[in-house]
């Protein structure tokens, strides 16, 4: 049995001091959002107990689906790297960037530079500088292939949308086909949800194209963040429906309007053509600030 953990959207704070010139435009409104979020019991005081509980599970691998930072100031990426390191060694922790990790155009390379050990593929030489062409990355761990897709693109003020882009999706399709031939359980990490409907200003612009790739090549599990809500949707694949799972923000307090802070565990067993995957939700509930199991569900098999 392979134990995969999934957490997302910690939006680590506090936002560091910045030069006035760095706070003009989009970042100013992001700062206001963060200040408002802290008033809703959103932050380190709720993240720390959740993380302690997660680490006690001794997962084989931890998937972090983006939005580690808030307004993409350089110092926030150091905080992000410290957080990732606190989850485990880079070969046991994978991250994909969210829209807040590429908040403004000038910050587009920061996550690639600061978090490289956590988002490099197995076959990437450590000295090779990463760029958008480095995605999707692939990490093979036991029976599981972790496939990391980047949808982080800088967008205009008030926009939180993302896109994978045609070139990355062509690579993704080829990778998924090859990994199936290797007999691996394919777990795709992507910040923006590729299934369901979202308002234009925060959607995945090429969600339909992602769905077509999955329809042709398949995958066993798709993990995302961005919505700060627990969700389960499905994309039709060549061998049956593929579960698409969203998890609330790991920093959300028990009474957060969008969903109490949680993380998910996935117990993966079986073999090609007969995979089994059970999901367990752990975290808070409205009015209950203890971290415990909040649900269990078979996604594949059972």
**C-beta closer to Fe ion: residue 163 or 217:** 163
Instruction: With beta carbons less than 8 A apart as the criterion, state whether 154 and 140 touch.
Output: no
Angle between helical axes of 44-56 and 74-87 (0-180°, round to 10)? 30
- In the complex, least distance from residue 21 CB atom to Fe ion, rounded to whole angstroms: 25
3-state class percentages of the chain: helix first, strand second, coil last, to nearest 5? 30, 25, 40
Contact status: 99 vs Fe ion (CB under 5 A): yes
**Min dist. Cβ of residue 203 to Fe ion (A):** 11
Q: Which stretch binds Fe ion (CB under 5 A): 68-76, 93-101, 142-150, 240-248?
A: 93-101
Q: Does residue 98 belong to the site contacting Fe ion (CB under 5 A)?
A: yes
76 binds Fe ion (CB under 5 A): no
Q: Whose Cβ is closer to Fe ion: residue 51's or residue 220's?
A: 51
Q: Looking at beta carbons, which residue is closest to Fe ion?
A: 67
How many helices (DSSP H) and strands (DSSP E) are in the chain? 6, 12
Question: Which CB atom, from 102 or from 221, has the smaller least distance to Fe ion?
Answer: 102
81-114 b/e with 16+ CB inside 10 Å = b? Answer: bebbeebbebeebbbbbbbbbbbbeebbebbbeb
Phi, psi of 285 (to 5 degrees): -140, 160
Whether residue 223 contacts residue 188, with contact meaning beta carbons closer than 8 Å, is answered with yes
Query: Which of 111, 226, 262, 282 lies at the binding interface for Fe ion (CB under 5 A)?
Result: 226
Which residue number, 115 or 275, has a Cβ lying nearer to Fe ion? 115
List 42, 61, 67, 235, residue binding Fe ion (CB under 5 A)? 67
* For Fe ion, the closer CB: 70 or 120: 70
User: 102-105, long-range: CB within 8 Å, 24+ apart, which pairs?
Assistant: 102/72, 102/152, 102/153, 102/154, 103/26, 103/27, 103/30, 103/69, 103/70, 103/71, 103/72, 103/154, 104/25, 104/26, 104/27, 104/71, 104/72, 104/154, 105/154
CB of 9 to Fe ion, least distance (A): 4
Q: Which stretch binds Fe ion (CB under 5 A): 17-25, 45-53, 64-72, 282-290?
A: 64-72
Residue 262 as a binder of Fe ion (CB under 5 A): the answer is no
Binding mask 9-28 for Fe ion (x = CB under 5 A): x-------------------
Using the minimum distance from each CB to Fe ion, give the nearer residue, 202 or 267. Answer: 202
Give me the residues that bind Fe ion (CB under 5 A), please.
9, 67, 98-99, 226
């Amino acid at each position: 049995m392979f134990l995969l953990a999934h957490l997302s959207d910690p939006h680590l704070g506090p936002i560091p001091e910045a030069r006035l010139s760095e706070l003009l435009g989009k970042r100013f409104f992001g700062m206001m959002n963060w200040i408002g979020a802290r008033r809703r019991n959103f932050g380190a005081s709720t993240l720390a107990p959740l993380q302690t509980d997660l680490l006690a599970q001794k997962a084989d691998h931890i998937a972090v689906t983006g939005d580690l930072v808030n307004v993409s100031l350089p110092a926030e990426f150091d905080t992000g790297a410290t957080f990732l390191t606190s989850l485990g060694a880079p070969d046991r922790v994978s991250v994909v960037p969210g829209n807040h990790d590429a908040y403004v155009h000038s910050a587009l390379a920061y996550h690639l530079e600061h978090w490289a050990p956590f988002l490099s593929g197995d076959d990437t030489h450590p000295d090779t500088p990463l760029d958008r062409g480095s995605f999707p990355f692939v990490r093979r761990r036991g029976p599981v292939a972790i496939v990391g897709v980047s949808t982080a693109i800088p967008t205009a003020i008030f926009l939180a949308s993302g896109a994978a882009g045609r070139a990355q999706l062509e690579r993704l399709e080829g990778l998924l086909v090859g990994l199936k031939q290797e007999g691996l359980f394919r777990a795709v990490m992507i910040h923006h949800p590729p299934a369901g409907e979202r308002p234009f200003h925060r959607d995945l612009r090429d969600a339909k194209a992602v769905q077509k790739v999955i329809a042709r090549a398949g995958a066993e599990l798709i993990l995302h963040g961005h919505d700060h809500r627990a969700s389960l949707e499905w994309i039709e694949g060549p061998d049956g429906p593929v579960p698409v799972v969203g998890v609330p923000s790991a920093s959300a307090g028990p009474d957060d309007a969008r969903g109490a802070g949680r993380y998910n565990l996935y117990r993966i067993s079986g073999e090609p053509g007969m995979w089994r995957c059970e999901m367990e939700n752990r975290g808070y509930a409205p009015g209950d600030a203890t971290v415990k199991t909040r649900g269990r569900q078979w996604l594949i098999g059972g």
